[in-house]
Structure 1
């Protein structure tokens, strides 16, 4: 089976092999529930610097999480893809891949190919304000500190009810 580049991944496929670096992993918490999680999310990047989001359901977390590690490169098979969610995407890709207990991960340990350690979709600062109320793709802001001042108490003088 030949390796499919991320740019060629389409929704509703399950006959593929990808070669990617897992550049970011996180466990989303379920809103409003103490210490309950909703699986595992990953950002995958390939040699062409394309990225795609991967998801693992909570039911598969215990079987999958010990097999993968952020920063490592893998050949991954027995995965499937679906359409990416319409809002709150992490990367601008039409598909999203899903791993489960049957997914296989072959870590590439020999001299790895050049696959970036992270993927960013930077936006010019002048365009940032136009994205404030848009939820199609999540926006991180990178900035720099220009001044440091002591903290001020802004609640002084406010009436409490």
Structure 2
């Protein structure tokens, strides 16, 4: 027998790559069809959301899902830019810890002006007001370390408030 009669033995290039069978072709076609259907579905879903104004309810998480209270407050604080006022409000709640128990007995914060970043503190005697004015630079530094740099620029210390004369013969409306 000659080599020409034996098809397994050839002097040409190596064996050819096997042709995909019917099952392999079916898998490739199925995968392509699924990808096309998914792309069409996404396009249709986006069109429907655009028609409805983007609001959609379903089983997946979305922006309309209920949130835990802490997460909702954090989100609201970030959206509205309330970080600084809330931080200063926290300072008013921790006033005794920041200035010390003895000072907190005689001095209390009254208000915080966000525009000028001035914290107004009222003391129950002029002696305590003088003492707090002396400590004001240290308190500003401590408050800024606690809340954030630049949150408080100045502490305005007020003495005891006298009675207001709203009534009487010399009062004009």
Same fold (TM over 0.5): no
| TM bin (shorter chain) | under 0.3
TM-score by length of 1: 0.24
Larger Rg belongs to: 2
Task: Answer 1 or 2: which has greater strand percent.
Answer: 1
TM-score by length of 2: 0.22
Task: Answer 1 or 2: which has greater helix percent.
Answer: 2
